[in-house]
Amino acid sequence: MISIGFKKKNIKYFIFFYFSFTFFFCWSLIDDYGVTIDDHIYYRNGENTYFYIKNLFLSFFDNQIDPSKFRADLNVLPTIYEIFLVLICKVLNITDFRDIYLTAHRINFLLFFSSLIVFFIFCQKIFENHFVSILGITLILLSPRIFAESFYNSRDVFFMCLFIFYLNSMYNFINSKNTKNIIFFSLFTALILNAKILGYIPVLIFVVLYSYNFLNTKEKLFSEKKIIFLFFSLTFFFIYILWPYLWDNPFGNLIFALKNVVKIQQDIILINYYFGEYLPSDLVPWHFRLVWFLITTPVIILFLFILGLVLFFKEIYKKIGSTLDNKKDFSQKHFMSIFLFMVFLFSYFILIEFNKSKYGGWRHLYFLYPIVIYFSILFINHLLHNSSNIFRNIIFIFIFFNLANCLFWTMKNHPHQYIFFNFLTKNYALKNFDLDWWGISHKASLEYILKNTKKDKIKVFAEGFTSLKDSHLYLESSEKKRVVLTGIEEADYVIDSKMKRIRINNYMKENNNFKLIYELNIDGQPISALYLRKE
């Protein structure tokens, strides 16, 4: 086992220090990030579900309460994260929206940090190497967009965290089918199915691969029939319990919900700025998410990922030959590699083929990022055991300088890491792709206005796709009273986050009624502009 200069008894202290420092340092940054245009909607959806559950329970003791009127407000989309957030806010009596948003950010980060620990444990089981496992965590942390969104992206990063929990529980289940492992694997299977419709891809792939590899004879199938029955029973039970929308009609509502989730996604039409053109989200090319993945992922990770895939194909090709000849099953570790590759491949293919409306970069596929990191460190692990010292040192020097560059960029541009493009593409991408599709930069613009004007009432309008509603709710109470959200006709200040709407666009650069007074620049490119009405 590689200990990179540490004695075995000291490795555990290094790991503890690494995670402790990461936690407390990141915890101190939570207040720095803005909020997304979806946060208020998500919270209200969670609140509606909370009121339904509460009144349904109370109706058992008071027949004057009719829970059906609360059920009418339920959103067809699952609200696992939102219910948890609302419950915490109700228990702690958190009512101010700034405090609610900060609570959401803290929960988001706690889940992300927990997933890092679980991913470390998972990598330890696969690679049995502390250095490789820590490097895997570091690659995630030093991916600027993932790092930034770990504080506020309660959809895609949340789903990525659940996927990591799912992977670890899957590996435990494959290795030991005791009651605890079956329960946890069923729970996390239900969670990823409930959280996003994309969760059906890894679950179906697992069922097919597991049946092929571990249930490929009548004897094996018979010996595991009780385990299979228990797994499916618990999974359906958890799906039902964790999705209140299903409670009054489980199967009918599930089918209706899945159909409508797809329809809702397809019906959302936004404007993308893609390769220097404004395109409706239903007309962007098939390569949209692939390109976004390539331009926003650090080059070192792309490099390692490609080498890891090459190594995987080489190993699996040999393994398939010996497996077919000797009628042997794949080992648990090879099973995991095959599973992860197929999830990555099929997820991209299915979204390319069936997802009509594409927007938001590749964030809907963030759950695939642990797979990217997995194959990256698969190559690193191979390198440590099967290469000369000179070649190994060259690769590690290359890795070190690339990660150091990512760290420097992350610190320099805090808290706007959501604008990151890798060094091969940033000069072009910053001018020809969307920058701030969620309105996170509104926080910086509002802070600039509040700092530089003494007026008691400041009328502000947001030009473009993103509104100021959530960012306004995120302000301190005294600041909320000063800022008044208006239309452009009455506004003293206009914030332009560069995201176009489908219909009306005011083209602030050409608007003679306003003058530019401030720009938020990242790598020399303005991502948000602030205009003041001329006297």
DSSP helix, strand, coil percent of the chain (3-state; round to 5): 65, 5, 25
Q: How many CB atoms lie within 10 A of CB 217?
A: 10
Q: What is the pLDDT of residues 167-218, one digit of tens each?
A: 999 999 999 999 999 999 999 999 999 999 899 999 999 999 999 888 877 8
Cβ 461 vs Cβ 486: under 8 Å:
yes
Average pLDDT across the chain, whole number: 91
Residue showing tokens 């003293």: 492
Residue 323 — pLDDT band, cuts 50, 70, 90? low
Within 10 angstroms of residue 401's Cβ, the number of other Cβ atoms is 11
Q: Give me the pLDDT at residue 502, please.
A: 65
Q: How much is the pLDDT for 326? A: 56
Give CA–CA dist 101/251, Å, rounded. Answer: 34
Residue 30 has what DSSP assignment? G
- CB-based contact 531:493 (threshold 8 Å): yes
Query: pLDDT digit string (tens) for 29-65?
Result: 999 999 998 899 999 999 999 999 999 999 888 888 8
Q: Give the model's confidence band at 503: pLDDT under 50 very low, under 70 low, under 90 confident, else very high.
A: low
pLDDT digits (tens, 9 = 90+) for 435-489: 998 999 999 999 999 999 989 999 999 988 888 999 999 999 999 999 999 999 9
The residues spanned by each domain of the chain are: 1-154, 155-252, 275-434, 442-533
pLDDT of residue 262: 76
Query: Residue 101 is which amino acid?
Result: Y
pTM of structure:
0.94
